Amino acid sequence: MTHSLEKHWVVEKRDDAILGNVEGVQSQKTIEGPFDTYEEALDARANYQRFSSTYYAVVVADTRPPSTKTEYNFVDGAREFEDVPGW
């Protein structure tokens, strides 16, 4: 059971590390909501299709989740990931 103030939001998330990139972006932005139920949010999320390193999640929060963007770079890719070509 969820707390009465909790709402459900559809959030677009991007994580270039999913594709094995040693440098890229991790970000999120709320694209729909608030919804009163998880099922309503799932129905809204069904309108979006995952592509590349972008996917869609239902987030439960009292307030609108903030937009964030972080760039990353694994400087020692050869030691962190054995399958990185060219390292």
The pLDDT tens digits along the chain (87 residues) read: 545 689 999 999 999 988 888 889 999 999 999 999 999 999 999 999 999 999 999 999 999 999 999 999 877 655 655 665 655
- Rounded to whole angstroms, the Cα distance separating 87 from 69 reads 26
Instruction: State the pTM of this model.
Output: 0.79
Lookup: tokens for 14 = 């991007």
Lookup: tokens for 61 = 């929060």
